[in-house]
Structure 1
Amino acid sequence: MSKFSFPKPDGVAAGNGYSHVVTGAGQWVAIAGQVALDAEGNFVGAGDPGAQARQVFANLDACLTAAGATFADVVKLNFYVTDISYLPAIRAARDEYVDTSNPPASTAVQVVALFKPEALIEIEAYAVV
């Protein structure tokens, strides 16, 4: 039995790869936006959204672990991308970490730029432990 509920709101079209609503009780964990930096602060995957997405999810996983959480605890992901066409690569990386039968709520936003030109993707996460 999941500690979360995934209500299906009336009058809202089903999400494609995300849930509109996730509820649960527990300790709130907020993970700052992660970019494709390795442990030494070097960019991974210059110009490659798939490589960057894999590094970003590895960073999110490390942050969740530090908080005593896992991707099973994630209720919300926010994606910031410099080109919306990167979403398939992001979803492929995401699907290696999240339960796609009950995915977290998500938002994807295309932005003009991130904090450095090398950064194509930034993702933040919210979890309940």
Structure 2
Amino acid sequence: MTTFDNPATVPAPPAGRYSHVARIELGGTTMLVLSGQVAIDAEGRLVGANDMRAQADYVLDTIEKILAAHGATLGDVVNIRTFLTDLDRIGEYAQARLPRFTGTPPTSTTVEVSRLFVPGALLEVEVTAIV
């Protein structure tokens, strides 16, 4: 069974165009598939213009809130996909990401893209978690 959700603890997706998370029940296991998250606040404004660390922190905080709404933590993440507009800034992203994943790190893909759907966004992150 699959349900879609937009937890009240995070800003709603723009104009209801997508859901933040798909919750998939697989017997006694739950898989959470999160949409890509960018650093936009509840008013749709970009957080941390040209500041990779500020945007990464905001995005990871949002992901943590979405996971928490479904009884999960970053420790339940099995895959993380990151889209950066400038791979030369991956070190700044790592400063925000690495301290949050303290156990065995999840599988990971990071790619450079020419731009994201929010002007000025430097990264978009999506994760899959198993609870």
Give the TM-score band, short-chain normalised.
0.7 to 0.9
Q: How does 1:43-54 map to 2 (within 5 A)?
A: 43-54=46-57
| Offset at residue 116 of structure 1 (A) | 2.1
Q: Structure 1 residue 107 and structure 2 residue 106: aligned? A: no
Question: What is aligned with 2:17?
Answer: none
Question: What is aligned with 1:30?
Answer: 33
| Offset at residue 104 of structure 1 (A) | 0.6
Question: What is aligned with 1:8?
Answer: none
Q: Structure 1 residue 117 and structure 2 residue 119: aligned? A: yes
Aligned residue pair count: 104
Question: So what's the TM-score if we normalise by structure 1?
Answer: 0.75
Q: Structure 1 residue 85 and structure 2 residue 88: aligned? A: yes
Residue segments in structure 1 that go unaligned for 5+ positions in a row: 1-24
Aligned-residue Cα RMSD (Å) equals: 1.4
Letter in 2 for 1:93: A
Distance 1:111 1:95, change over 3 A: same
The 2-side partners of 1:92 and 1:27 are apart by 30
| Offset at residue 52 of structure 1 (A) | 0.6
The 1-side partners of 2:29 and 2:89 are apart by 33
The 2-side partners of 1:54 and 1:105 are apart by 20
The 2-side partners of 1:50 and 1:104 are apart by 20
Question: What is aligned with 1:58?
Answer: 61
Residue segments in structure 2 that go unaligned for 5+ positions in a row: 1-27
More displaced stretch, 37-46 vs 110-119:
37-46
4+ long deviations beyond 3 Å: none
